[in-house]
Amino acid sequence: MGEEFYAIIKLVSGEEILSLVMIDENDGDPVVVLQNPVTVKSFNNQYGMHIKVKSWIEMSDDDFFIIRLDKIITMTETKDENLIYIYNNYIEDSDTSDVYNPSGKIKLSQKMGYISSVEDARKKLERIFKGLKES
């Protein structure tokens, strides 16, 4: 296998994929090996530019996919640090999250914003409110 690099790939289907890529010279018939491919869409609104990232094949648990060169229109290496950061951040978050839980219960974490109990928050807010009222 060849060297790994981040690439943006345009497929004959019209899809654009961002992935960590390796070229495998498979007996003279090269194939492209994609690791954790994602689709990336950018859009603008009144709050600025946003980027939407999602898995290329959403229902698969596999991390690696193989594409023949005849399915690719073009491929370009990207060294855009912001794009690579967004990609790696998405991959790390999707590796640690439990999307499906049969019981329907989700364990709270610091990432979800859980920082205190309802009772503690109520007491803090009451102190703030009383402090503002007395001033």
Q: Could you report the per-residue pLDDT of 13-70, keeping only the tens digit for each?
A: 999 999 999 998 877 788 999 999 999 888 888 888 888 889 999 888 889 999 999 9
* Full residue range of the structural domain in which residue 41 is found: 5-99
Q: Would 119 be classed as within a structural domain?
A: no
Which of residues 96 and 81 earns the better pLDDT score?
A: 81
Predicted local distance difference test score (pLDDT) of residue 98:
43
Predicted local distance difference test score (pLDDT) of residue 39:
92
Q: Would 16 be classed as within a structural domain?
A: yes
Q: Would 60 be classed as within a structural domain?
A: yes
Predicted local distance difference test score (pLDDT) of residue 99:
44
Q: Would 106 be classed as within a structural domain?
A: no
Interior angle at CA 54, CA 11 and CA 42, nearest 5: 75
Q: Would 133 be classed as within a structural domain?
A: no
CATH of the domain at 20: 2.30.30.100
pTM for the complete prediction? Answer: 0.64
Give me the number of domains the chain comprises: 1
Tell me whether strands 29-45 and 48-55 are parallel, antiparallel or unpaired: antiparallel
Q: Would 33 be classed as within a structural domain?
A: yes
Asked if pLDDT for residue 96 goes beyond 60, the answer is no
How far apart (Å, rounded) are the C-alpha atoms in residues 127 and 29? Answer: 71
Q: Would 131 be classed as within a structural domain?
A: no
Tell me whether strands 64-68 and 48-55 are parallel, antiparallel or unpaired: unpaired
Percent of all residues in the chain with a pLDDT value above 90, rounded to a whole number = 33
